[in-house]
Structure 1
């Protein structure tokens, strides 16, 4: 799966930086139409996470991954066939649906294939994915320098080819054992109770809601920082892509080493406090960047990018471990699908929150940091209660088995 992640994200890196320009310069859409297209397709994509998780509890996860990869390839290829706004919106929405589903499926595959080493495996996979994204982004930048219609079309086709190649490689991957797949073999004992339902698990839904807020570092880095640099500071505009490169380099270098601090649910919960500290430092640095002068702006923005990147790294480790630890074995896919709503919702709502902060001015950044502190406190309390409850249930089950063994003897 690591080679698949590299190829997949390299293809995505090719296309994502050129998508908005393709729709305006090649298909002739207005800026307003591009905004609607991306907003609506992103909103449709939110449904992809729970749908993919539901399917993965009932079918082999590798086959569902292949389906998502081919769906993205076909939908993107269809973009080349039209400049009609309605059709472009439809194809983009179909691609977004598969994209959000694929993210959940790859995490579920990692959880099943790696077992107790899932946190380290996911960290390695995320590192490889970031490397692929950087490679694709650099290659895309070279193609964009040409600026012709054929150059934009080549980037889109490159992304299509990456999905097809990833699907072919996924065919060769072993299917991991699934504790949650429904048994259909007539010789196997029938399931006596229905599988757990995440939509009826109030604690998991609350956990997912807090997660949506903690994913805001993504919107701040990708949307807020470039806009803040251009509209509020004296920093050169060219600093924005350099800070994105810095983000990728830090993730590649630090994700795996830091993963050892989140290898258990309790350790993962312990990462929430430094996560909040990093986010607050990043917000404070964003405020400081407007205090005056180019040098101060550049230095403060570099501090902000570094702090927010470490918040991103720590959150990815904690989020990954806790989302699995709080999910029952009989419905892992369904629970991870619901958890996937948090990142999908942030993709839609995060840019709105961040642009509102920018419009409000420098003092709004500390308020955003304070909101994250409150969210972290709420999530930490919620997770502690859930882990204690699960620990108590496990202890009770062990005691019951021991009593049964004594009676049997």
Structure 2
């Protein structure tokens, strides 16, 4: 699955960095049309997480993943065939739904295969994925030097072919043992009768609600930092892409070492307290970047990027472990599907939150960081009671298929 992550994210890196340019210069869409298309496609993606999770509890996981990757390939190829706005919207929505569903199922696959080493596996997966994003972005940047419509089309074709490659690689992966074949130290006992329903689990829904806020670091790098640098901070605009590179390099270099601090459920829960400090420090340094000259602002912005990147890596470790530990084994897919809604919802809420912080000035960033820090503490209190329950089984051991 690590090879799958590399190929998948390399293809996505080819497309993500040029999608707006493609729709502008090749499809001839207006800014308003592009914004509407992105918003509606993102809304469709929200449904992908719970749908994918529910299906994964009923059918072989690898086969469902293959279908989803082929669905994404069809969606990308469909964009190449038309400039009709309605069809572009339909294909974009289809691709977004497939992407979110595939992300949840890939996480579920790792959970079943890695067993007690799932946190380390996730860290390796994120490292490989970020390397793939970087490779795709560099390839896209090189292709864009041509500045032709053909170059944009080749990048989109490369994205589509990457999904076909991912589907072929997935076919070679063994089907992981279902939850019933795994002895797991879940903190949520499996109920008798039909599988548990995450929509009736108030504690888990409360946890997912706090997760939506903790995922806001994504919007900081994609929207907040570039806009703040462009409109408020006294620094060269070229600093924005450099901070994104810093974020990517830190994740590739440090995600695996950081994950060792959350190798168990108890350790992951304990990371929520230092995580709150990282978010608070990120907001404070963003605010301070508006109080000095160019060198001072640059130093504070670098500090902010480092703080939010550390928060991203720690939260990734915590989120991976708790989202699984809080779910009963008999309904992992359904529960992880609901958890996937947090990241999908953040894509809509995040840009609004960071632009509100920018509009409010330095105080806005301070409140932004403090608000996420407070949410970390709320999440810690929310999950503490369930994590305190004694495990009903022995330490996790994946049973042999033989």
TM-score by length of 2: 0.94
Aligned residue for 2:257? 257
Q: Is 1:219–2:210 an aligned residue pair?
A: no
Q: Is 1:37–2:37 an aligned residue pair?
A: yes
CA displacement, residues 339-377 of structure 1 (integer Å, 9 cap, x when unaligned) = 000000001111111111111211111111221122111
Aligned residue for 2:207? 207
Q: Is 1:62–2:65 an aligned residue pair?
A: no
Matches within 5 A, 1:4-403: 4-179=4-179, 193-389=193-389, 391=390, 394=392
For residues 272 and 192 of structure 1, the distance between their equivalents in structure 2, rounded to whole angstroms, comes to 32
State the Cα distance separating 1:279 from its structure 2 match: 1.1
State the Cα distance separating 1:180 from its structure 2 match: 6.1
**Conserved? CA contact 2:198–2:338, under 8 Å:** yes
Structure 2 gaps of 5+ residues are: 182-190, 395-402
Aligned residue for 1:404? none
Aligned residue for 2:188? none
State the Cα distance separating 1:27 from its structure 2 match: 0.3
**Conserved? CA contact 1:71–1:94, under 8 Å:** yes
Runs of 4+ in 1 over 2 A off after TM superposition: none
**Conserved? CA contact 2:37–2:89, under 8 Å:** yes
Q: Give the direction of change, closer, same or farther, for the CA distance of 1:168–1:192 in structure 2 (3 Å limit).
A: same
**Conserved? CA contact 2:283–2:370, under 8 Å:** no
Question: How many residues matched?
Answer: 385
TM-score by length of 1: 0.92
For residues 22 and 387 of structure 2, the distance between their equivalents in structure 1, rounded to whole angstroms, comes to 48
For residues 379 and 180 of structure 1, the distance between their equivalents in structure 2, rounded to whole angstroms, comes to 29
Structure 1 gaps of 5+ residues are: 182-190, 398-409
CA RMSD of aligned residues (A): 1.4
Aligned residue for 2:397? none
For residues 137 and 227 of structure 1, the distance between their equivalents in structure 2, rounded to whole angstroms, comes to 20
Aligned-partner SS, 2:388: helix
Higher Cα radius of gyration = 1
Aligned-partner SS, 1:47: helix
CA displacement, residues 174-212 of structure 1 (integer Å, 9 cap, x when unaligned) = 00001169xxxxxxxxx9601110011010000000000
For residues 61 and 296 of structure 1, the distance between their equivalents in structure 2, rounded to whole angstroms, comes to 51
**Conserved? CA contact 2:179–2:329, under 8 Å:** yes
**Conserved? CA contact 2:217–2:308, under 8 Å:** yes
